[in-house]
Amino acid sequence: MTLPLLFVLAAVSCAQAQLLRSSELGITKCELQASRGRANEGRVEDKPVLLYVFITACSAGTWRGSSIVPGSEPGSGSKQQAGGGTLHVAGHFFLHDPARPIRTTQLQAVDEAKDWAVQEGALLLKSPHTGREWPLTLQLAGPWSNPHRHRYPGRLSAVLTDLDPVDAALLEFHVLARPDFHTSCTFLASTARAPAWPPPVMRARDGDDDGGEAHTGAEERDARRRRRRRARRQLWERSVLGLQSGDSSDGAGDADQSEEGRVQSGGDLVGRRIGHSLDIRQGPQHCGWLDETGAEIEDELTAARTRPSYMVVSPFFGLPASEYASLLLHHMRYHDVLGVRRYLVYVEAGASALAADSRVQAAVAGGRLRLVLWEEVPHFLEQDTGRRHPYASQSLVYNHGLLALWHELAVAAIADVDEYLVTPERTTLAQVLEGCAEAGTPPAASLQVTRRVGYCTGCVDAISGGGGGGGAGGSRGKRSPADRLDKGALSAAHPLERALWLNGSALARQEAYDGVLAAAAAAGFPPRGHGDGGGGGGGAGLVHPLALYGVSTGDAEPKSVLLVHRAAFSNPHITYPLPGQRGSGASTYCAYWLHLRSQVALRLSGGRPTDVREVKRASLWVLDELYGSEL
């Protein structure tokens, strides 16, 4: 066997260890088949219709299932302990006509869905042991006359109480659809759980330990702050620069060596295909938004502050995996300061190459990232090009990710790697959800945060040599924000913009990087520490490419920040809450997403830009935190 082949096999083996299949997130998928046409009246065509159902469950406290003596029968009573517990069920569904090509940005229900879903008992759970049935409550994103609502899957829910002892013990149900559906599937609620996330990796250096003495008061807070700064810097070293233990530019490699072993051994466990051990004594996963008595936790937004926040990201396309990894890790490093501790990232094409990237492996092993191979539906091909449709399953992916987190009390955001959350003052993602709803209204379960298009005006200054400070707040008193949006200049600067995001370390060794540092300094971000372009050589660098974005304009589409278990369904831009829950828009003066449309490919809109604003220097406080983590 040749040496190159050995390297390839090693990379593939490592990639397998880092990937989870979408079926391993505790969600059961059913494909139920029927003939189209009898949802209303009479059969009009004999064509197959597929009903896709995604379903999961959780319970409050410790599951009080039955202890069944082998050989006992349902109803025998004396051989069984009393059953109990309440099982909460949630999921999504959609109808699909395979004969219809995918022409929009969403694989979604055929028109018959609106008629089928309102029928009594259209979708239900049935016990194969006792014969009991539980109808599922179905919800669609009406009004159906709005064609954009076709881009959402339907929502299903149920609460199963007073289960028979056998059902409480086995938690086995059949998913049935009526009428005219002639297939069913099995839902094992006891296996509705994903592998646990590994704990975050916190690496210590020589001199940071005080000999085991406990910190108190201000000392303890300072110690936590130092540990967090170290963690951010080390995430940057390993993810953006690809440094391994022993490569650290500050000479701390020897101190990190033992931790490197722990990172590597942890990485071998993350994403391993462990299968489902059917231990009926374990019961379903816990509903994190319920207390031990089954009551909903009071003041859940406050409670969510103490729990991990998430970012859900859909599959990438059109980029090599290594370049996408650079974008992803820039995104993770920034939003970590906003309290986003975990990324749930779906992948289709390029999954193995992405999982084999050493920077990605470090983030996975550190408990920051989970890669999910999306394979619940086939990859759809565009009719005209024959290439994979980049958006056909995007809404399904987002809803699948939210369903995978549904049992947690968690705040999540749905965003792409070219969208950065900007706030005027220090805050967290959970606090944005709690405090940025429309003025005079209580916090919302789903917050629609406006996007604004960001422009790399600092890149223009870097190549022009003018040092005009085109980054955040850098041209105050010189040129108006609108004057800095010359399309010719932005187009000429785009190769530099792209290089900053995709290959900052290589760019740092080029002469053009001096202009980048000068532009960043004029914008209020002088070179300090190592930065994204420092190359690990110990020189000063750019803390983050976002420092060079000094102007933004209006963008029509928002992105969502939400309390996961309160969400009904989502598309790439809007998440609708469950009935009885509030949705709200967010003021751009409280938070907005800076959409870097030309981050990779040049995308300048035609016509005159509207709502042109300066990106305030103070609103990029996250970069100050990143600076501090490198001191």
**pLDDT for residue 57 is more than 90:** yes
* Residue 87 exposure: Cα atoms within 13 Å on the Cβ side: 29
* H or E segment and range at residue 31: strand 28-35
Q: Between 49 and 413, whose confidence is greater?
A: 413
Q: What is the mean pLDDT of residues 275-301?
A: 80
DSSP-derived letter for residue 267 is: H
- Find the farthest-apart pair of alpha carbons in the chain and give their distance in angstroms, rounded: 87
Residue in 500, 502, 625, 630 with CA at minimum distance from that of residue 236? 630
pTM: 0.83
Q: Between 45 and 199, whose confidence is greater?
A: 199
Q: What is the mean pLDDT of residues 253-277?
A: 38
Angstrom distance (rounded) from CA 261 to CA 314:
31
Angstrom distance (rounded) from CA 290 to CA 178:
32
Express each pLDDT in 439-469 by its tens digit: 778 889 999 999 999 999 999 999 987 655 5
Q: Between 236 and 353, whose confidence is greater?
A: 353
Q: What is the mean pLDDT of residues 95-123?
A: 75
pLDDT, residue 235, reads 56
Express each pLDDT in 165-184 by its tens digit: 999 999 999 999 998 888 99
Q: What angle do CA 559, 561, 565 make, to 5 degrees?
A: 130
- DSSP secondary structure string for all residues of 216-237: -HHHHHHHHHHHHHHHHHHHHH
Q: Between 438 and 130, whose confidence is greater?
A: 130
Angstrom distance (rounded) from CA 365 to CA 360:
9
Of 189-193, 351-355, 493-497, least confident by mean pLDDT is 189-193
pLDDT, residue 211, reads 35
Beta strands in 394-436 (DSSP E): 411-414, 419-422
**pLDDT for residue 83 is more than 50:** no
Burial 324-360 (b: 16+ CB within 10 A, else e): bbbbbbbbbbbbbbbbbbbbbbbbbbbbbbbbbbebb
pLDDT, residue 317, reads 86
pLDDT, residue 259, reads 32
Of 30-34, 106-110, 334-338, least confident by mean pLDDT is 106-110
Amino acid at 286: H
Of 90-104, 182-196, 232-246, 359-373, least confident by mean pLDDT is 232-246
Which H, E and C letters describe 63-74, residue by residue?
A: CCCCCECCCCCC
Say what the alpha-carbon torsion angle 543, 544, 548, 552 is, to the nearest 10 degrees: -140
Q: Between 264 and 618, whose confidence is greater?
A: 618
